[in-house]
Structure 1
Amino acid sequence: MAQATRHDAWQAGDSYDLYMGRWSRQIAPRFLDWLDPPKGLDWLEVGCGTGALSAAILARCNPASLVSIDPSEGFLAKARANVPDRRVEFVQGDAQVLSVQSGSKDMVVSALVLNFIPDKDKALAEMQRVARDGATIGFYVWDYPGGGVEFMRAFWTAATALDPAAIDLAEDKRFPFCTPDGLTALANSAGLVSVDWTQIEMPAVFEDFDDYWRPFTLGAGPAPGYCLSLEPHARQRLLEKLRDSLPRGEDGSIPMKTRAWAVRAKVG
C-alpha cells in the first residue's frame, strides 16, 4: 500500500462517527439548504459513510426514493442503525462502477468522499450516467488545503514537528485539488454545466482535551491511523505537544472550526 494511503482505514463506523461523523452531520443540512431541491425526487448518494447526508435528505427533502451507496460494510451497518427509515436503501458499491440504472436519478450527491476516490473522473462520469437529463449533481469536500478542518490541521502540525515524515500523510498535501478552483475545474472537465460553488463553515467545539484526543486513538482515518501506528512513548509525546498547544476557552473547551467547499452542477 502506498505510504500516503496506508492509514486510510475507513471501516469502523462507530470510530468514524466519533472522529468525523459528528461534524459531518452539522454540514449536511446546510449543503441541502444551498441545493434547495424540490420535494419528491429520486436521489442517489455516492459514498454515504455512516449516513449523515442520508438522514438529512430524508428529513429535509422528502425524496421519492433514496439509494445510498458505500464500499464499506462497516459503514453501511452503522448507517442502517443511524437511519432506520424504509425510504432509503443502503447498498454496497463502488463509486467508479455504480450498479444503478442509467438515467434514473434526479439528484446525485456525494459528501466528503470525492477526494478518497482513486479515479474521480470515472466517478463523475458514472454520476452523470445514472442521472436524468437536467438532473443536479452536487458534492462537497473538506477544505484540506486551507486548513478548514482546524482540529485535523492542529494534529498534523504537532505530528510533523515531532516526525517530519508525517507531513506526507497530511490531507492538505494529499488532496490539493480540494479548493473552489480545483473542484470547479473537475466538474467542468467532466462536462457538467451551470457549475457553481459555495463555502460551508461550522464551529467544532470540543468539551475538553480528552474529547479532542480520544477520536485520534480509535484508528478510523489517516490521522487516527497514524496515531495508532506510533510507539507508546511517541504517542505520549504527541499527546503532550497537542495538549500544550491547542486553544482553550474559559470553561476548558477547545474552540475550533470546520469548513467545506460545495459544488453543484447540471447534467446537460
Structure 2
Amino acid sequence: MHAGGPADVWAEGDAYERYMGRWSRRVAEVFVARLGEPAALRWLDVGCGTGALTGAVASRCRPRTALGLDRSAEFVRAARSAAAPGPARFAVADASALPLRDAVFDAVVSGLALNFLEPPGTAVAEAARVVRPGGLVAAYVWDYADGMALLRRFWDAATALDPAAAALDEGRRFTLCRPGPLRDLWSGAGLVEVTVAPIEVPTVFARFEDLWQPFLSGQGPAPGYVAALAPEDRERLRTRLAASLPVRPDGSVALAARAWAVRGRRPAGAER
C-alpha cells in the first residue's frame, strides 16, 4: 500500500502490523480459500504491503511462484523478514507501471491496496495486462463506509469533536470500496465473469488500549490524523472513542470487519 492522501502514511511495517495487519491476515486467508484456484500456478500480489496475501497464497495454493510487489521499500523488507521458507518472493515496484512482460502470470491478486493507488484503473489495467488469457484478477478492500467497525467508530468520534476530520474519513473518501464501483472497475479493464462478494471477520480487542495504541503509530489515515492532534485534543478523542465502544464484562471490545472481494478473468484468447 502507498500514500494516497494527505495523511495516508504507509511506511513502517511493524506499525502497520499492529494497526491493521492482524485483521488483514484473517481476510487474506478467507479470500484465498474462496478463489479455489489449482496448484502450480504463477501468482502476483500487487501492493503486497507486509506480505499477508502473498503468504496466504504461498501456504494455501501450492504455487509454482508467488511474487509480491509494493512501492514501499520498508514494507517489502518487512514482508521478506516475515515470510516462511517457500516460493514467496518480494520486490519494490509501482502497481501503475509493472516491470513485467505481458501474460506471464496465471493469477494476479491485491489486498487492501486498490483504493490507495492513483489512479486505480491504471493498476487494474496493468494487472489484466500481465495475466494470461483466461487468468484470474482478484482483489479485496475494506468496506470503509459501513462494514469496518473499528474505523467507523473512530471517524464518528473524531468528526463529532472536529467536523474537519470528515475530509480524511475513508468511508467518504474511498467511494471505490463498494460493490458497484468495484464491478465497474473490473469490467472497464476488459475483465469478464466479474463478481463481488463480502468477507467478514471478527476483530476482538483484549481491552481498549489494545485498540487505541495502534492509532498512535502515524501509519494510515486515522493514525496520521491522531498524530497531528494537540495532546489535549488527542485525549478528548481517546475518551470519546472509548465511551462509544461495546465493552464486554472482561474488558474486551468485540467488533467486526467487512471487506469487499472482486474477481474476474481476462477473456480467453485475448491478446495485447
Query: What is the TM-score of this pair, normalised by structure 1?
Result: 0.97
Q: Is the 8 A contact 2:70 2:91 kept in 1?
A: yes
Q: What is the alpha-carbon distance in structure 2 between the residues aligned to residue 242 and residue 175 of structure 1?
A: 22
- SS at 2:76 equivalent: helix
CA deviation map 1:183-213 (0-9, x unaligned): 1011111110010121100000000010010
Q: What residue in structure 1 maps to residue 108 of structure 2?
A: 108
- Deviation (angstroms), 1:38: 0.2
- Deviation (angstroms), 1:86: 4.2
Q: What residue in structure 1 maps to residue 20 of structure 2?
A: 20
- SS at 1:110 equivalent: strand
Letter aligned with residue 266 of structure 2: V
Q: Is the 8 A contact 2:199 2:258 kept in 1?
A: yes
Q: What is the alpha-carbon distance in structure 1 between the residues aligned to residue 180 and residue 128 of structure 2?
A: 21
- SS at 2:185 equivalent: helix
Letter aligned with residue 21 of structure 1: G
Q: Is the 8 A contact 2:145 2:152 kept in 1?
A: no
Q: What is the alpha-carbon distance in structure 1 between the residues aligned to residue 24 and residue 85 of structure 2?
A: 19
Q: What residue in structure 1 maps to residue 196 of structure 2?
A: 197
Q: Is the 8 A contact 2:105 2:135 kept in 1?
A: yes
Q: Trace 1:1-268 onto structure 2 (pairs within 5 A).
A: 5-146=5-146, 148-268=147-267
Q: What is the alpha-carbon distance in structure 1 between the residues aligned to residue 124 and residue 211 of structure 2?
A: 35
Q: What is the alpha-carbon distance in structure 2 between the residues aligned to residue 212 and residue 121 of structure 1?
A: 33
- Deviation (angstroms), 1:57: 0.5
Q: What is the alpha-carbon distance in structure 2 between the residues aligned to residue 151 and residue 225 of structure 1?
A: 15
Query: What is the TM-score of this pair, normalised by structure 2?
Result: 0.95
Identity %: 46
- Measured on the aligned residues, the alpha-carbon RMSD in Å equals 1.0
Q: Is the 8 A contact 2:168 2:221 kept in 1?
A: yes
Q: Is the 8 A contact 2:68 2:91 kept in 1?
A: yes
Q: What is the alpha-carbon distance in structure 1 between the residues aligned to residue 169 and residue 81 of structure 2?
A: 31
Q: What is the alpha-carbon distance in structure 2 between the residues aligned to residue 83 and residue 136 of structure 1?
A: 24
CA deviation map 1:4-50 (0-9, x unaligned): 82111100100000000000000011101111000000011100000
Number of residue pairs matched by the alignment: 264
Q: What is the alpha-carbon distance in structure 2 between the residues aligned to residue 185 and residue 231 of structure 1?
A: 41
Letter aligned with residue 145 of structure 2: P
Question: Which consecutive residues of structure 2, in runs of 5 or more, have no partner in the other structure?
Answer: 268-272
Question: Which consecutive residues of structure 1, in runs of 5 or more, have no partner in the other structure?
Answer: none
Letter aligned with residue 125 of structure 1: A
Q: What is the alpha-carbon distance in structure 2 between the residues aligned to residue 85 and residue 44 of structure 1?
A: 17
- Deviation (angstroms), 1:84: 3.6
Letter aligned with residue 174 of structure 2: F
- Deviation (angstroms), 1:177: 2.0
- SS at 1:178 equivalent: coil
